[in-house]
Chain A
Amino acid sequence: MSASLRADPVGIRLERISASFLDRSRGMVTAVRDIDLEVRPGELMTLLGPSGCGKTTTLRMVAGFQEPSGGTIFIGPHDVTRTPANQRDIGFVFQNYALFPHLTIFGNVAYGLEVRHWSTDETRNAVHEVLELVGLGGFGGRLPNELSGGQQQRVALARAIVIRPRVLLFDEPLSNLDAKLRVSMRAELRNLQQVLHITSIYVTHDQEEAMAISDRIAVMENGRIAQLDTAEMLYRRPASAFVAGFLGRANLLRVTVEHVENGLASLDLGGQKLVARLDSTIGVGSAASVIVRPESISMGPPNGGLTGVVQTRTYLGEKIEYEVALAGQTLHVVRFDPAEDEGFAPGSPVSLIVPEAKLRLLGADAGVATGSQLDTAGPGP
């Protein structure tokens, strides 16, 4: 299938890239601080983070729309830091599609080929092939404003891939679509990227989208990469409270390390005891925090051990969410597929069981400022 669109993928490497610029109201702003990033050939790497974290700026520097104030960008073996965008051989998919409003769908997709001086026949064949590929065969004669949002985004995608770029860059391509379409489009995008085997960087603030689509995710915070890993590892072993909170929901509890033995740490939580696995060294007696996902906590009638008091109970059909007061902190607990008679009413004491493998122990500096409970920054509007 569309072998003609397939080429050997190349990697992308950013070395100590930074971006600062003068803003009229805020003075000197640094959007990206000394980022190192390596995207493997054929990989889809997502830059995930809240708005203002520098993800889009990073992407635009890779595209060549913006020049880094420091550092080097490699696409394949070539240093492209000073190469203008039109010579970088990239495909860019914009958030607002950025279709040329005065050209037909065919004209839009053919544009990049015409610029490359392809023959009329070659152009026509390639455009038809790629329009078929994105499911828009027969739409060539229409104008962009005659298409729905989802169709327009497919055209934007077709336009970007028809030139067989070495690199595909996506700037929140699905955020203008409605929720249902977003889900189906992201599957298509992923499928297409796999088929074409093009090295891609994908920017989004939607953690679910990032998890669904990426080989690896770089979570960005304040112009830096907070953690780079696969979705699974990021979720299971977040390096900081920020990462834990950005991918899914997480409880952050302040604890004190009592003693360490056999790779396990005993923790004091306001007089109650907790045990967590330890994979870095941590000083006995020091303050620390633990992260635990709401769905990792089991809850039962009081029977000693970790005990809290239910404060609120929210029934949501497939799950029930509880807020439990525990040693002066609040713990969120989610119970899926709840039993019919399950009813820990507010005010009732409960026993909490947290498997030690599901507890993630962080040093105190790794995010105490963020507070004791982290909700996901989650998908935007």
Chain B
Amino acid sequence: MRTSSSGGAGDGPRRLVVIVLWLLLGLFVLYPLGALIARALSDDNGFTLAPLIAAIDSRNNLRAFTNSLLLATLVGVCGTAVGFLFAFTAERTQASRLWVKILDNATLLPLISPPFTTSIAFVFSFGPRGFITHDLLGMNNASVYGLASTLAAETLTYFPLAYLALRPMLAAIGGNIEEMAFSLGGSRWRVFRTVTLPLTIPGLANAFLLLFAASLADFATPLILAGNDLPVLPTEAYLQITGMFDLKGGAILSLFLLVPAGFVYFLQRYVVERRRFVTVTGKGGAGMSSQGTAPFVGNALLMICLAVVAFILYLYALLVVASLVLAFGANYTFTLAHYHVIFTDGLPAIEDTLLIALIGMPIGGLYGVIVGYLVARTRFFGRQVMEVVTMLNYALPGTVVGIAYLLAFNQRPFLLTGTAAIIVACYVFRYSPTGIRTTVALLQQIDRSIEEASFSLGATSFTTFRRIMLPLILPAFFAGLSVVFIRSMTAISATIFLVSINWTLITVRILENMTELSLGPAAAFSVFVILTVIVVTTLLNLGLRRMMAPGLEIQVLRR
């Protein structure tokens, strides 16, 4: 009930865990952020706003700022539209299960690929030697770089987030409300306009903000596709630091990034979440909602979705082809040379990436489960603050986190630059929040009386945790593992600042290959990453399914 249960002895260990967590969060979340802000807002004489004001005055920075906002807004709008189209088609047309399954799997692909896979494929498709531009249309100087291609690539990369957010929403609105509207004599279009759409608006807003934040933080796509005419904040900050060794400039630019990101986070958490008309339970409403569209409209929608899917598959096919031919666009002779390159030259990157992913995985999984349990099931001073702090690195753009880590761990007493530890820490604190949320969601399905039953049968709180709670939240642990692994294999925006001669990552090597125009190895690396992720997550999912206690539901959100 309302008061805390005093089941058994054992507050001591829990207090210790809380203290250790706070120390870790202080070191890996709060301190780097503080270091970033301190660096941006101070000089040798202490606090000053001068560099910040100078940076705001700079035309170049201002342009990057407006470009970032413009791009994020466009991606938000386009991605939400495509996501809604997919969700609506899956939930409200007569499309058969098979088609829906195809939509599901195709949208999964961008979620588990490195964030710039689409961009690379775009280069293969529309670049100077692109399959479409050069081979099919015979153009010789096609430029793939600019706003249009960046927008298209990011839309294709991120619309699955909107799809995942909107589909349960549409399902929850359910056919009943719409059938009610039909029964009152509304036409299909009228019902869509006056019932379905208004009810979905909070969901649409939420999806828009999700995509806005994702695009704002995206580093790899603009780096490859934006070109010189479209500077955006993450790439500018990166160039400041790696090109001009201007740490302060990078810090200031990432502050620019922090403002809209923080604003969006706030909107999402405190405005949109509270305006929801329906609570998403994960269970669909009474399924019969296929009346929502006329058959020909449904077929047309399905056709559009399948066209998008076909395009995505085409892009991935290009990637596979490019990894298997001598020189894409010039010489289509089959070869395994690129794979030979990545398993010889590129082997250190592969080994480092896998090692870091494998170290980070259990740590991240455990951290997620422990924090989730503490937040959801116990009471201690500062609990809600801890919840917010654990989400911080997750919500911040990767560039901000990367630069913050770079600044924070570059000097004693916390000299971690150049080690694997800094990369592992970055991944754990940035990507475990999914595990935390999954744990909390699972625990909310597990009534407190289950624990009380264990106490009443004579078990201590330790036995209760080990024999009852742990098995029940094991699926969340696995979900956490899988997300940390995927991200460790694919992420780049934060860790590009943290790699070193000793420790490098596949994603960084892909970017290097892209800038050196050795596209073949880049494609081979990408294919390797995608296959590895698919294999490992499939195994983890199998394990998860075996361990799932019957009757519980889990939804793994992939971002």
The answer to whether A100 and B459 have CB atoms under 8 Å apart is no
The answer to whether B1 and A85 have CB atoms under 8 Å apart is no
Q: How many residues of B contact A (CB 8 A)?
A: 31
Using known A-B contacts A98-B447, A112-B457, A163-B458, determine if residue A65 contacts B7 with beta carbons closer than 8 Å: yes
The answer to whether A23 and B450 have CB atoms under 8 Å apart is no
Q: How many residues of A contact B (CB 8 A)?
A: 38
* Cα-based distance from A21 to B549 in the complex (angstroms): 34
The answer to whether A98 and B450 have CB atoms under 8 Å apart is yes
The answer to whether A86 and B1 have CB atoms under 8 Å apart is no
Question: Which residues on B sit within 8 Å (CB–CB) of A115?
Answer: 457-459, 463
Flag whether B550 is at the interface (Cβ < 8 A): yes
Q: Which residue of B lies closest to A60 (CB)?
A: B1
* Cα-based distance from A107 to B40 in the complex (angstroms): 59
Chain A min CB distance to B471 (Å): 5
Most central of B458, B460, B468, B471 by chain A CB within 10 Å: B458
The answer to whether A86 and B455 have CB atoms under 8 Å apart is yes
Question: Which residues on A sit within 8 Å (CB–CB) of B455?
Answer: 64-65, 84-86
Question: Which residues on A sit within 8 Å (CB–CB) of B454?
Answer: 100, 111
Q: Which of A67, A91, A143 contacts B456 (CB 8 A)?
A: A91
The answer to whether B8 and A98 have CB atoms under 8 Å apart is no
* Cα-based distance from A56 to B449 in the complex (angstroms): 13
Flag whether A94 is at the interface (Cβ < 8 A): yes
* Cα-based distance from A100 to B454 in the complex (angstroms): 9
Question: Which residues on B sit within 8 Å (CB–CB) of A94?
Answer: 449, 452-453
Contacts of B1-21 to chain A: CB distance below 8 A:
1-3, 5-9
The answer to whether A98 and B7 have CB atoms under 8 Å apart is no
The answer to whether A102 and B3 have CB atoms under 8 Å apart is no
Chain A min CB distance to B449 (Å): 4
Q: Which residue of B lies closest to A156 (CB)?
A: B453
Q: Which residue of A lies closest to B552 (CB)?
A: A101
Q: Which residue of B lies closest to A85 (CB)?
A: B455
Flag whether A176 is at the interface (Cβ < 8 A): no
Most central of A66, A90, A156, A160 by chain B CB within 10 Å: A66
The answer to whether A145 and B459 have CB atoms under 8 Å apart is no
Chain B min CB distance to A122 (Å): 15
Using known A-B contacts A102-B472, A102-B549, determine if residue A86 contacts B456 with beta carbons closer than 8 Å: yes
Question: Which residues on A sit within 8 Å (CB–CB) of B413?
Answer: none
Question: Which residues on A sit within 8 Å (CB–CB) of B459?
Answer: 86, 111-112, 115
Chain A min CB distance to B230 (Å): 49
Residues 74-105 of A, flagged 1 when their CB comes within 8 A of B and 0 if not, give 00000000001111111110111011111000
Residues 148-163 of A, flagged 1 when their CB comes within 8 A of B and 0 if not, give 0000000010011001
Question: Which residues on B sit within 8 Å (CB–CB) of A112?
Answer: 457-459
Chain B min CB distance to A88 (Å): 8
Chain A min CB distance to B477 (Å): 14
Question: Which residues on A sit within 8 Å (CB–CB) of B550?
Answer: 101-102, 143, 145
Flag whether A247 is at the interface (Cβ < 8 A): no
* Cα-based distance from A159 to B551 in the complex (angstroms): 20
Q: Which residue of A lies closest to B10 (CB)?
A: A84
The answer to whether A56 and B549 have CB atoms under 8 Å apart is no
Q: Which of B456, B471, B472, B552 contacts A63 (CB 8 A)?
A: B456
* Cα-based distance from A64 to B456 in the complex (angstroms): 8
The answer to whether B452 and A92 have CB atoms under 8 Å apart is yes
* Cα-based distance from A66 to B141 in the complex (angstroms): 76
* Cα-based distance from A100 to B455 in the complex (angstroms): 12
Flag whether A116 is at the interface (Cβ < 8 A): yes
The answer to whether A84 and B447 have CB atoms under 8 Å apart is no
Most central of A56, A112, A143 by chain B CB within 10 Å: A112
Residues 436-461 of B, flagged 1 when their CB comes within 8 A of A and 0 if not, give 00000000001101101111111111
* Cα-based distance from A290 to B8 in the complex (angstroms): 50
The answer to whether B447 and A101 have CB atoms under 8 Å apart is no
* Cα-based distance from A216 to B447 in the complex (angstroms): 31
Chain B min CB distance to A147 (Å): 11
* Cα-based distance from A23 to B454 in the complex (angstroms): 26
Question: Which residues on B sit within 8 Å (CB–CB) of A90?
Answer: 456
* Cα-based distance from A50 to B449 in the complex (angstroms): 21
Chain B min CB distance to A93 (Å): 9
The answer to whether A66 and B456 have CB atoms under 8 Å apart is no
Flag whether A57 is at the interface (Cβ < 8 A): yes
* Cα-based distance from A111 to B8 in the complex (angstroms): 17
Q: Which of B460, B467, B551 contacts A86 (CB 8 A)?
A: B460
Question: Which residues on A sit within 8 Å (CB–CB) of B452?
Answer: 63, 65, 85, 92, 94, 98
Chain B min CB distance to A127 (Å): 13
Using known A-B contacts A100-B468, A102-B471, determine if residue A84 contacts B8 with beta carbons closer than 8 Å: yes
Question: Which residues on B sit within 8 Å (CB–CB) of A100?
Answer: 450, 453-454, 468
Q: Which of A84, A88, A102, A163 contacts B9 (CB 8 A)?
A: A84
Using known A-B contacts A98-B449, A115-B463, determine if residue A21 contacts B471 with beta carbons closer than 8 Å: no
The answer to whether A92 and B453 have CB atoms under 8 Å apart is yes
The answer to whether A23 and B2 have CB atoms under 8 Å apart is yes
Contacts of B207-239 to chain A: CB distance below 8 A:
none
Question: Which residues on A sit within 8 Å (CB–CB) of B450?
Answer: 98, 100-101
Most central of A96, A102, A112 by chain B CB within 10 Å: A102
* Cα-based distance from A98 to B456 in the complex (angstroms): 11
* Cα-based distance from A163 to B5 in the complex (angstroms): 22
* Cα-based distance from A158 to B7 in the complex (angstroms): 21
Question: Which residues on A sit within 8 Å (CB–CB) of B2?
Answer: 21, 23
* Cα-based distance from A85 to B449 in the complex (angstroms): 13
* Cα-based distance from A96 to B1 in the complex (angstroms): 13
The answer to whether A64 and B6 have CB atoms under 8 Å apart is yes
Question: Which residues on A sit within 8 Å (CB–CB) of B552?
Answer: 101
Chain A min CB distance to B523 (Å): 45
Q: Which residue of A lies closest to B5 (CB)?
A: A65
Contacts of B455-489 to chain A: CB distance below 8 A:
455-461, 463, 467-468, 471-472
Q: Which residue of B lies closest to A111 (CB)?
A: B457
The answer to whether A86 and B8 have CB atoms under 8 Å apart is yes
The answer to whether A66 and B468 have CB atoms under 8 Å apart is no
Chain B min CB distance to A49 (Å): 16
Residues 35-68 of A, flagged 1 when their CB comes within 8 A of B and 0 if not, give 0000000000000000000001100100111110
Q: Which of B3, B446, B456, B471 contacts A85 (CB 8 A)?
A: B456
Chain A min CB distance to B516 (Å): 53
Q: Which residue of B lies closest to A89 (CB)?
A: B458
The answer to whether B3 and A21 have CB atoms under 8 Å apart is yes
Chain B min CB distance to A27 (Å): 13
The answer to whether A85 and B453 have CB atoms under 8 Å apart is no
The answer to whether A84 and B7 have CB atoms under 8 Å apart is yes
Chain B min CB distance to A73 (Å): 13
* Cα-based distance from A116 to B458 in the complex (angstroms): 7
Q: Which residue of A lies closest to B450 (CB)?
A: A98
Q: Which residue of B lies closest to A95 (CB)?
A: B449
Question: Which residues on B sit within 8 Å (CB–CB) of A96?
Answer: 447, 449
* Cα-based distance from A169 to B461 in the complex (angstroms): 20
Question: Which residues on A sit within 8 Å (CB–CB) of B551?
Answer: 101, 145
* Cα-based distance from A169 to B1 in the complex (angstroms): 16
Question: Which residues on A sit within 8 Å (CB–CB) of B1?
Answer: 56-57, 60, 66
Most central of A63, A86, A88, A169 by chain B CB within 10 Å: A86
* Cα-based distance from A146 to B550 in the complex (angstroms): 9
Question: Which residues on A sit within 8 Å (CB–CB) of B9?
Answer: 84
* Cα-based distance from A96 to B449 in the complex (angstroms): 8
Contacts of B122-146 to chain A: CB distance below 8 A:
none
Chain A min CB distance to B547 (Å): 8
Q: Which of B3, B457, B460, B549 contacts A163 (CB 8 A)?
A: B457
By Cβ-Cβ distance, the 7 closest A-B pairs, closest first, are: A112-B457, A92-B456, A98-B449, A102-B549, A98-B453, A85-B455, A101-B549
Q: A21-B3, A84-B455 are in contact. List 5 more A-B contacts (CB 8 A).
A: A84-B7, A84-B9, A94-B449, A111-B457, A115-B457
Q: Which residues of A contact B (CB under 8 A)?
A: 21, 23, 56-57, 60, 63-67, 84-92, 94-96, 98-102, 111-112, 115-116, 143, 145, 156, 159-160, 163, 169
Chosen A-B contacts, 15 in total, with CB atoms closer than 8 Å, are A57-B1, A84-B455, A86-B456, A86-B457, A89-B458, A92-B452, A92-B456, A94-B452, A100-B450, A101-B450, A101-B551, A102-B471, A111-B459, A159-B457, A169-B456
